[in-house]
C-alpha cells in the first residue's frame, strides 16, 4: 500500500515541493504550517476539479426575464473567486437573450452554486472576516485571517465586508420592526423544554461609547454618546469550581440602540416576543433606579413581568436617608440602617416605610433631612411592588440587577471601547448589528446566499 505522502505526489506533481516541505520540517510547528499549506492547495485543486465536472454537464437555460425567450449559450467564460483557501478558478457557460435584451450575460452554474454575479470574494471568507471583526479590531481581524487562511486581507477589506453584512442586518431589523408595527408578530425562536422552564429575565442599561465629533473626519474632541442596551436571558444555575451553585444567564439575547429609550422599546418588545414572553412560566424585569427604564417596564412589560428593584440600590438609598435624618449621630444612623436593611431584605418593607413616616412627623427635623426622607419614602412607596425581596427569593429570582446590567455593559464595552477607538455613526451601526447578530445566534443567516431573481 502506498504511503499518503507518495499518493499525494502522484496526484499532482505540483504537490511535490509541498510534500517535501512537510517531510523535511524540523519541528512539529513548522510541519503543521507546511501541511496546512498543502491542504489548502489540495482543497483548491479538488474544488476546481469538481467545478470543471459541473461545467461540462448540460446547462438548463432559463428564460429571458424581459421577453421570455430561452437564453442561448455564448460559450465559456472564466471566473475566479477569492476564498478561505485561496483563489478558485473555473470556467462556466454564459448565455444571452437571443433577441438582444440588455440583461447582460447570465451564468446558470453561478446561480446553482449560490453565487451572485458580482462578488470576487466568496461568502465564507467574508463570513470569517466579519466573525473576527465582531471580537477584534479590523486590523487584527485582517491579520488573523491572513494567518489562518494564508489569504492576504487588508483591514480596509474587512471593514467593507462588515459594512455590507451590517447593512443587511439593519435592513432585516427595519423590516421586522415594520411588520411588528403592522401587527405581525415575529416567530418565536425554538427553545429546548429544559431551557423554556427557566425564568426569563430582562434588564437594561446605558453604556457610553466614544464617537468622532464630525462625520468624515477623525479630528476633534471625542464625543461620548449613550447606547441603550437590553438583555433577555434565561436564568440558569451552574456549579462553580469551588462547588457553589451560582446563577448564570443562558440563551442571552441582546438589543441595543444609539438613541433614546423610546427607540429601545419596540426593539425590546420584538425580541421579547421572539423569546416567548407570553408563554414563559416566569418573567422578571431587573433594574436599578433609572426612571426611564422603569417607565419602559411599566409601559411595555408590566403585564407579563414581575418588576424587581435592585436591592443594593434600594439599600443605598435607605442609607442616604438614615445619614440625613440622624446627621452627626453616626452610631444611631448605622444601627437604624442595619435594622431597616434587614427588614427590607426579609419582606418587611412596610415597617421601613412606617419608620420613615414616623421620622417625618418628628419636630425639629431639619429641612434638608425632611427632603431626603420624603424622597426616600416616595421612592420606596413607588417601588412597593418591586421590593418584596423575601418573596422573590422564594420564587428563586435574583434581587440584584448586577448580573443583567454587567452583561449589557460587557457586550458593548468589550468591542467598542478599546484604547484609542472612536466611531463614526455608520461604522458603529454596522458593527453593532453584526455583533448583535452574533450574540443572538443569527450571524450565519446573514451570509446565506440569496436566491438570484432571474434564475
Ligand atoms: Zn429577451
pLDDT in tens, 130-154: 999 999 999 999 999 888 888 888 8
Instruction: Kindly give the residue spans of alpha helices, DSSP state H, lying in 210-310.
Output: 261-274, 291-296
Please report the pLDDT score of residue 326 as a whole number. 84
Ligand 1 centre distance from Cα of residue 96 (Å) = 8
Degrees, nearest 5: CA angle 164-87-446: 25
The model's confidence at residue 6, banded by pLDDT at 50, 70 and 90, is confident
Residue 59 has pLDDT above 90, yes or no: no
Whole-number Å distance between alpha carbons of 243 and 181: 48
- Over residues 60-87, the pLDDT tens digits come to 899 998 999 999 999 999 998 888 888 8
Please report the pLDDT score of residue 1 as a whole number. 63
- Over residues 324-333, the pLDDT tens digits come to 888 777 888 8
Query: Helix 28-56 and helix 16-24: axis angle, to 10°?
Result: 160
Ligand 1 centre distance from Cα of residue 249 (Å) = 57
> What residues contact residue 430 under an 8 Å CB cut-off, 6+ apart?
162, 163, 165, 166, 167, 170
Ligand 1 centre distance from Cα of residue 101 (Å) = 4
Percent of the chain with pLDDT over 90: 56
Ligand 1 centre distance from Cα of residue 59 (Å) = 18
- Over residues 367-416, the pLDDT tens digits come to 888 898 899 999 999 999 999 999 998 988 989 888 888 888 888 888 99
* Average confidence (pLDDT) over 12-37: 89
Task: Please tell me whether residue 250 adopts helix, strand or coil conformation.
Answer: strand
DSSP bridge pairs for 254: 231
Ligand 1 centre distance from Cα of residue 111 (Å) = 19
Q: Answer positive or negative: Cα dihedral of 133, 139, 141, 145.
A: positive
Ligand 1 centre distance from Cα of residue 99 (Å) = 5
- Domain boundaries defined on the chain: 1-57, 61-120, 126-184+424-455, 193-304, 312-386
Ligand 1 centre distance from Cα of residue 114 (Å) = 23
- Over residues 348-371, the pLDDT tens digits come to 989 999 988 888 888 888 888 889
The answer to whether residues 122 and 83 touch, using CB atoms and an 8 Å cutoff, is yes
Degrees, nearest 5: CA angle 439-444-445: 110
- pTM to 2 decimals? 0.80
Compute φ and ψ for 327, nearest 5 degrees.
-50, 135
Of the chain, the end-to-end C-alpha distance in Å amounts to: 47
Ligand 1 centre distance from Cα of residue 105 (Å) = 12
Task: Give kind and range of the element (H or E) at residue 232.
Answer: strand 223-239
Whole-number Å distance between alpha carbons of 419 and 172: 31
Please report the pLDDT score of residue 146 as a whole number. 87
Please report the pLDDT score of residue 449 as a whole number. 62
Ligand 1 centre distance from Cα of residue 45 (Å) = 37
Mean per-residue pLDDT over the chain, rounded: 89
What would the grid cell of residue 445 be?
Answer: 443567516
Ligand 1 centre distance from Cα of residue 73 (Å) = 13
Ligand 1 centre distance from Cα of residue 380 (Å) = 74
Ligand 1 centre distance from Cα of residue 58 (Å) = 21
The answer to whether residues 439 and 271 touch, using CB atoms and an 8 Å cutoff, is no
- Please indicate whether residue 365 or residue 169 has the higher confidence score (pLDDT): 169
Ligand 1 centre distance from Cα of residue 107 (Å) = 15
Ligand 1 centre distance from Cα of residue 67 (Å) = 4
Ligand 1 centre distance from Cα of residue 63 (Å) = 8
Ligand 1 centre distance from Cα of residue 207 (Å) = 55
Whole-number Å distance between alpha carbons of 74 and 71: 9
Ligand 1 centre distance from Cα of residue 179 (Å) = 36
Degrees, nearest 5: CA angle 267-123-125: 105
Amino acid at each position: 500500500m502506498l504511503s499518503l505522502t507518495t499518493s499525494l505526489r502522484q496526484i499532482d506533481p505540483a504537490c511535490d515541493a509541498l510534500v517535501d516541505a512537510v517531510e523535511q520540517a524540523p519541528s512539529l510547528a513548522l510541519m503543521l504550517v507546511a501541511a496546512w499549506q498543502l491542504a489548502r492547495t489540495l482543497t483548491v485543486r479538488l474544488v476546481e476539479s469538481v467545478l470543471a465536472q459541473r461545467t461540462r454537464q448540460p446547462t438548463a437555460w432559463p428564460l429571458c426575464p424581459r421577453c421570455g425567450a430561452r437564453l442561448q449559450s455564448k460559450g465559456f467564460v472564466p471566473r475566479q473567486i477569492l476564498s478561505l483557501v485561496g483563489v478558485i478558478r473555473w470556467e462556466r457557460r454564459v448565455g444571452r437573450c437571443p433577441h438582444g435584451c440588455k440583461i447582460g450575460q447570465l451564468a446558470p452554474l453561478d446561480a446553482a452554486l449560490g453565487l451572485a454575479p458580482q462578488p470576487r470574494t466568496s461568502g465564507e471568507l467574508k463570513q470569517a472576516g466579519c466573525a473576527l471583526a465582531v471580537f477584534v479590531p479590523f486590523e487584527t481581524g485582517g491579520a488573523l485571517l491572513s494567518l489562518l487562511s494564508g489569504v492576504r486581507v487588508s483591514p480596509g477589506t474587512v471593514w467593507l465586508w462588515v459594512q455590507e453584512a451590517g447593512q443587511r442586518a439593519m435592513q432585516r431589523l427595519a423590516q421586522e420592526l415594520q411588520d411588528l408595527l403592522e401587527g405581525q408578530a415575529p416567530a418565536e425562536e425554538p427553545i429546548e423544554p429544559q431551557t423554556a422552564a427557566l425564568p426569563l429575565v430582562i434588564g437594561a442599561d446605558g453604556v457610553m461609547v466614544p464617537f468622532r465629533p464630525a462625520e468624515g473626519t477623525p479630528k476633534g474632541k471625542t464625543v461620548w454618546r449613550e447606547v441603550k442596551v437590553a438583555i433577555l436571558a434565561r436564568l440558569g444555575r451552574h456549579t462553580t469550581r469551588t462547588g457553589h451553585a451560582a446563577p448564570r444567564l443562558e440563551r442571552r439575547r441582546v438589543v441595543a440602540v444609539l438613541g433614546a429609550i423610546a427607540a429601545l422599546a419596540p426593539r425590546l418588545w420584538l425580541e421579547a416576543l421572539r423569546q416567548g414572553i407570553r408563554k414563559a412560566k416566569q418573567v422578571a424585569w431587573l433594574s436599578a433606579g433609572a426612571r426611564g427604564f422603569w417607565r419602559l417596564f411599566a409601559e411595555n412589560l408590566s403585564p407579563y413581568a414581575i418588576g424587581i428593584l435592585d436591592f443594593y440600590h434600594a439599600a443605598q438609598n435607605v442609607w442616604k436617608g438614615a445619614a440625613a435624618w440622624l446627621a452627626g449621630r453616626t452610631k444611631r444612623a448605622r444601627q437604624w440602617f442595619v435594622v431597616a436593611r434587614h427588614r427590607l431584605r426579609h419582606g418587611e418593607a412596610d415597617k421601613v416605610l412606617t419608620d420613615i413616616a414616623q421620622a417625618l412627623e418628628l419636630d425639629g427635623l431639619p429641612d434638608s433631612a425632611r427632603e431626603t426622607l420624603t424622597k426616600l419614602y416616595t421612592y420606596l412607596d413607588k417601588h412597593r411592588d418591586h421590593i418584596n425581596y423575601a418573596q422573590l427569593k422564594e420564587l428563586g429570582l435574583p434581587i440584584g440587577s448586577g448580573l443583567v446590567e454587567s452583561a449589557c455593559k460587557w457586550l458593548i464595552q468589550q468591542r467598542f471601547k478599546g484604547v484609542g477607538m472612536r466611531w463614526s455613526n455608520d461604522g458603529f451601526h454596522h458593527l453593532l448589528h453584526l455583533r448583535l447578530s452574533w450574540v443572538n445566534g443569527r450571524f450565519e443567516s446573514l451570509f446565506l446566499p440569496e436566491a438570484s431573481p432571474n434564475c
